[in-house]
Amino acid sequence: MEKKGFLEAVRILLSEKNMLFESLREKLKSYPELNSMLYSLLFTGKAIV
């Protein structure tokens, strides 16, 4: 999937009221290292070791 399409899908999911994504969004705010790790995994393909 193209990055632009992925980001659009994420935007749509996060704009809807959904407890799973609300919780995930709060965790990413609370844990910047987790946010950075997920970004690296999803957008750069960097392996997490």
Write the pLDDT tens digit of every residue in 10-41: 888 878 888 887 898 899 999 999 999 999 99
pLDDT value, residue 1: 52
pLDDT value, residue 16: 83
Distance CA(27)–CA(32), nearest Å, equals 9
Confidence of residue 2 (pLDDT cuts 50, 70, 90): confident
Distance CA(44)–CA(21), nearest Å, equals 22
pLDDT value, residue 14: 77
Distance CA(32)–CA(22), nearest Å, equals 16
Where do the domains of the chain lie? 3-44
pLDDT value, residue 29: 95
pTM of the full structure: 0.54
